[in-house]
Structure 1
């Protein structure tokens, strides 16, 4: 290895994060930061690390946020995939956004629920046609013999749906993460980062507190 990993480091100097800067609603605060990430030309600012648990073992992968409202954070996937089976066995998940251009991270913990069939179908209808075909072609997370097999399945599906709309597969749809915890992290000099969290109370309000970095 050409580089000493232990010596790789980046100091953070862009901004601070004070309690008075936070909106009392964490969804609104997230939207403010998300809009700043878009303005800063962050590549795929909606990319989020989805962490799940199955039989006490963690699993994580990057998925794309596709909508956000006061109920939660929505993404779409194959209902027969590994992550879907893990969420079925344990509905508590975490999602993490990292916007390095802004030296920011947002951690969210919550419970998963499926979106309605209508929501899933409405989003599927506006996906690019190639992505619609791929939702049919991919038996996500199952063993694949070789790339040629996947390409042949795709070709046959393109022929099958030629000249017609591609319907949503029954095994494909959305999930919504309903948060009970947000952490907004702003990188600071010498690893003295700002960490401000929102924790949901039993009454449904949000309490804000600061954590040691």
Structure 2
């Protein structure tokens, strides 16, 4: 049986969105939508598509979990030595995308990243389950490994080394995204979707407009 992807269509009609509906602060608007996604029991509401570009100019993307929205910044944690970490070190521009199909909504965030303070990474790392903390030591993220058994062996080795408290490895920590462009998308019938975009002005205020779908 052949699969005709062109015939797969979904019309959207749950809600509308206009600039007048949106708060003046896009981060506050994001938090409102995120809470609605959580309340609607969207699967993995904090999952976001993270796109970065390395020194070679090639883009790369993956799904990462948002771990905080603080002081107007979006926080996530990862291995600094991973491919994504190396790309962000070479080029701090980043794009985040959230998609909540149950609500027919998407949010796109663009801006720059900086590493969070070590004490912030320490506090979050300490809140993780014991096995996840061991995994941060065991996994040399994005590097080639001979087998899964080798990874399990490394985790067991660090379990012996850290039977109780597991300190945060220096190669693991958080990033804070400072946005300068945020867009809210609400699906609508006939592909006439609602899009509201905020861009950051030089005086730190936000300019809000409607975009064509």
**Under a length normalisation based on structure 2, what TM-score does the superposition of the two structures give?**
0.97
RMSD of aligned residue pairs (Cα, Å):
0.9
Gaps of 5+ in 1: none
Paired residues for 1:53-92 under 5 Å: 53-54=53-54, 55-92=56-93
Residue of structure 1 in register with 2:45 after alignment? 45
Secondary structure of the 2:33 match is helix
Report if the CA contact (8 A) 1:51-1:58 is conserved.
Answer: yes
Report if the CA contact (8 A) 1:12-1:189 is conserved.
Answer: yes
Gaps of 5+ in 2: none
Report if the CA contact (8 A) 1:27-1:70 is conserved.
Answer: no
Distance 2:106 2:113 in 1: 21
Distance 1:20 1:204 in 2: 20
- Aligned-residue offset at 1:165: 0.5
Distance 1:13 1:71 in 2: 31
**Under a length normalisation based on structure 1, what TM-score does the superposition of the two structures give?**
0.97
- Aligned-residue offset at 1:79: 0.7
Residue of structure 1 in register with 2:184 after alignment? 184
Distance 1:151 1:57 in 2: 32
Report if the CA contact (8 A) 1:46-1:64 is conserved.
Answer: yes
Distance 1:81 1:173 in 2: 11
- Aligned-residue offset at 1:69: 1.9
Residue of structure 1 in register with 2:29 after alignment? 29
Residue of structure 2 in register with 1:172 after alignment? 172
- Aligned-residue offset at 1:63: 0.4
Paired residues for 1:99-178 under 5 Å: 99-162=100-163, 164-178=164-178
Distance 2:208 2:51 in 1: 24
Aligned length: 212
- Aligned-residue offset at 1:106: 0.2
Report if the CA contact (8 A) 2:99-2:105 is conserved.
Answer: yes
- Aligned-residue offset at 1:114: 0.2
Report if the CA contact (8 A) 2:18-2:210 is conserved.
Answer: no
- Aligned-residue offset at 1:57: 1.2
1:72-131 CA distance string (max 9 Å, x none): 100000010000100011100000000000000000000000000000000000001110
Residue of structure 2 in register with 1:193 after alignment? 193
